[in-house]
Amino acid sequence: MNLRWYHFALWALFILVMALIPELVSKGTLRIIIFANFLAIFAISWDVLSGRTGYISFGHPFLIGIGAYTSAILTKRFDVPIEYAIPAAVLMTMVGGIIVFLPALRIKGSYFALVTLAFMELIYQLVQVVRPDLTGGTRGMSGIETLTRGAVNGYYLSASLMVVVALSMWLLMRTQLGTALSAIGMNEESVRGSGLSTTRLKLFAFLTSAFVAGLGGAFYVHYLGSIAPRALFDINFLFTIIVAALIGGASTIIGPVIGAFFLTFLLEYLRPYLPGAERYFIYGMIALVLYMYEPKGLIQLFSNAWNSLFSRRESAGNQNSDQAGKQSDAL
């Protein structure tokens, strides 16, 4: 796995900062950061699948929705304890992941993206029409059991979940599995030509992505205590997830976390000037400019700065390492 001292240092620093944030910021800011934590989880989920394999999912709100609705319905309508409802929701989301996976057996590129977009639209229609007594129909649900009270507790819950998800996905993607999934994104035929079953790899990526999406969705609904289909199955929500992963730095895990925080605060700061959906236009422009300037994302900008600080040391230390060419691994 090739862990280095600065990996431990950076993760320790990251966890320390996350732990201290409630001492440093106002309650209002804390609530914004809670959203950033959940967005980061969703962006990591997207990144594990789309950032790696190149199968661009427009269906993540579909997956997140399955997680959120399953847990909400189980706890509210059937009085299932939350500690059973959440695992059940994650399992259901993984079933959803398999459904999204099926078209990936046959189609690639923009067609795949469009098919997954159809899943999002489909579930939006379904929750409104099928058994609105369970789903709450167009209005959604409220009064869902919450796991925490107050911003500080909500913050710690979301931050812990985000850190655990980020760290475990980061470790997982540093193994040969991560290399194989990235290889699919570069040339799927060559991966098959190297003797690896891409079907199995893709299925694993879809299931892992769904696992994270379901986990995030279920916890999110038990943080909010309510669910609004119009906001969940919304194209702006979808693009916020994707843009967070892309401008942060796809295929890096930490990139999407950085991207999620950057986007959340950008949207918040734009809110007083642009209260409506025009905000999304502005952030789209900013994201585009950033993306054109550095396609590997914000993480690459940080990584470049880091490398210029430590360059002499690193070039000596990297001689015997295969990581020399991939400086983005520094973070």
Partner 1 sequence: MKTALEIENLVKRFGGLVATDNLSFHIEQGQSVGLIGPNGAGKTTVFAQIMGEHLQTSGTIRLYGKDIGSDSTPERIRKGVSRTYQVPRPFTDMTVLENIRVGQMPNSIWQMIKSKPQYEKEVELALSVGFSKTDLHKPPGELSMGDLRKLEMARTIATGSSVMLLDEVFAGLTVAEIAQIGALIQQMHKDGMTFLIVSHDLKALEPLVDSVIAINYGAKIAEGNFNDVMDNDNVRSSYLGAA
**CB-wise, 75 or 198, nearer to partner 1?**
198
Of 50, 55, 88, which is closest to residue 71 (Cα–Cα)?
A: 88
**CB-wise, 190 or 311, nearer to partner 1?**
190
Q: Based on the shown chain and the rule CB under 8 A, indicate whether residue 180 belongs to the binding site for partner 1.
A: yes
Q: Based on the shown chain and the rule CB under 8 A, indicate whether residue 48 belongs to the binding site for partner 1.
A: no
Q: Based on the shown chain and the rule CB under 8 A, indicate whether residue 189 belongs to the binding site for partner 1.
A: yes
Q: Based on the shown chain and the rule CB under 8 A, indicate whether residue 327 belongs to the binding site for partner 1.
A: no
Q: Which of 128, 182, 226, 307 binds partner 1 (CB under 8 A)?
A: 182
Cα(170)–Cα(191) distance, integer angstroms: 22
Q: Based on the shown chain and the rule CB under 8 A, indicate whether residue 322 belongs to the binding site for partner 1.
A: yes
Cα(218)–Cα(64) distance, integer angstroms: 8
* Interface of this chain with partner 1, residues 108 to 137, rule: CB under 8 A: none
Cα(205)–Cα(184) distance, integer angstroms: 11
**CB-wise, 204 or 302, nearer to partner 1?**
204
Q: Which of 27, 108, 131, 200 binds partner 1 (CB under 8 A)?
A: 200
Q: Based on the shown chain and the rule CB under 8 A, indicate whether residue 311 belongs to the binding site for partner 1.
A: no
Which amino acid would we find at residue 11? Answer: W
Of 136, 128, 143, 154, which is closest to residue 31 (Cα–Cα)?
A: 154
Q: Based on the shown chain and the rule CB under 8 A, indicate whether residue 226 belongs to the binding site for partner 1.
A: no
Q: Based on the shown chain and the rule CB under 8 A, indicate whether residue 98 belongs to the binding site for partner 1.
A: no
Q: Which of 198, 209, 240, 303 binds partner 1 (CB under 8 A)?
A: 198
Q: Based on the shown chain and the rule CB under 8 A, indicate whether residue 106 belongs to the binding site for partner 1.
A: no
Residue 66 DSSP one-character state: H
* Interface of this chain with partner 1, residues 156 to 175, rule: CB under 8 A: 172, 175
Q: Based on the shown chain and the rule CB under 8 A, indicate whether residue 190 belongs to the binding site for partner 1.
A: yes
- Least distance between partner 1 and beta carbon 246 (Å): 15
Q: Show Cβ contacts of residue 98 under 8 Å, excluding neighbours closer than 6 positions.
A: 203, 206, 207, 210
**CB-wise, 313 or 326, nearer to partner 1?**
326
Q: Based on the shown chain and the rule CB under 8 A, indicate whether residue 304 belongs to the binding site for partner 1.
A: no
Cα(62)–Cα(100) distance, integer angstroms: 9
In sequence order, what DSSP letters do the residues of 160-203 get, joined into one string?
HHHHHHHHHHHHHHTSHHHHHHHHHHH-HHHHHTTT--HHHHHH
Cα(178)–Cα(171) distance, integer angstroms: 9
Q: Which of 143, 193, 275, 276 binds partner 1 (CB under 8 A)?
A: 193
Q: Which residues pair with 141 in a beta bridge?
A: 227
The number of beta carbons lying within 10 Å of the beta carbon of residue 2 is: 9
Q: Which residues bind partner 1 (CB under 8 A)?
A: 1, 172, 175-177, 179-180, 182-183, 186-187, 189-198, 200-201, 204, 322, 324-326
